[in-house]
């Protein structure tokens, strides 16, 4: 038997915060609108359709994370098992934080003088590399942190939350690795 998503638990501190999930949904939804608009604009102007499938896939996957975030705070989300919503929140957080955290570690290692940069990818220390680093945190890192906050708030309502959190983080990172292999 599956447990349905619980009703918000009201403690002495009040109900769990809804703002991380709402802000995550808005942040990612805005990304989807901007990316989708750029895709449509490119098509209308007769731009190349090469590699646009990846953008469509990214938008689709991110729209799923919007639905998961909303399911954690909307009444209709209570129809879903709590572990599914919690797993989706933790998985979305892990997937979106993996790359920005990895790039942060690489840049810190280079800045500490432990490795030399190769001037491309996450070790690019040029102005463009730092711009891309900021954009990575803006597009992936900020919503990743919001999903983690939403998962922590929602997890207080789900039995065995730690187990689901760990499994979801591992599954999210595994999914990201598989997607990278498939696309790359």
Q: How confident is the prediction for the chain on average, in pLDDT?
A: 86
The CA–CA distances, whole Å, from 63 to 3, 29, 33, 58, 114 equal: 25, 7, 10, 9, 39
d(CA 89, CA 182): 23
pLDDT tens-digit map of 95-107: 899 989 999 999 9
Stated pTM of the model: 0.84
Kindly state the percentage of the chain with pLDDT values over 90.
53
d(CA 42, CA 34): 12
Residue among 103, 104, 91 at smallest CA distance from 150:
91
pLDDT value at 113 more than 60: yes
């Amino acid at each position: 038997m599956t447990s349905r998503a619980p009703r918000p638990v009201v403690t002495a501190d009040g109900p769990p915060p809804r703002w991380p999930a709402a802000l995550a949904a808005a942040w990612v939804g805005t990304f989807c609108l901007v990316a989708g608009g750029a895709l449509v604009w490119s098509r209308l102007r007769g731009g190349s359709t090469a590699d646009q499938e990846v953008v469509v896939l990214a938008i689709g996957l991110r729209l799923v994370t919007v639905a998961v975030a909303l399911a954690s705070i909307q009444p209709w989300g209570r129809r879903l098992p709590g572990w599914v919503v919690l797993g989706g929140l933790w998985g979305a957080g892990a997937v979106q934080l993996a790359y920005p955290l990895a790039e942060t570690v690489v840049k810190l290692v280079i800045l500490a003088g432990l490795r030399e940069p190769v001037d491309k990818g996450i070790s690019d220390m040029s102005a463009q590399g730092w711009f891309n680093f900021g954009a990575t945190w803006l597009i992936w890192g900020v919503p990743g942190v919001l999903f983690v906050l939403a998962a922590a708030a929602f997890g207080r309502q789900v039995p065995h939350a730690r187990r689901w959190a760990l499994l979801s983080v591992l599954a999210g990172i595994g999914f990201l690795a598989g997607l990278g292999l498939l696309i790359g």
